Amino acid sequence: MTPSEACFNLVKRFEGCRLEAYPDPATGGDPWTVGWGHTGPEVHKGLTISQDIADAYLLKDLTHVADTLNHVLEIEPTQAQFDALCSFVFNIGAANFVKSTLLRKLNAGDVLGAAMEFPKWRNAAGRVMPGLVTRRAAEQALFQLGG
CB 38 within 8 A of CB 102: no
Cβ-in-10-Å burial (0-12, 13-18, 19+) of 92 comes to middle
Which residue among the candidates 5, 15, 74, 117 is catalytic per the annotation? Answer: 15
15 is catalytic: yes
Q: Which helix (H) or strand (E) holds 11?
A: helix 5-15
Which contacts qualify for 115-123: CB closer than 8 Å, 24 or more apart?
Answer: 115/140, 115/143, 115/144, 115/147, 118/84, 118/88, 118/143, 121/88, 121/92
Residues with a known catalytic role: 15
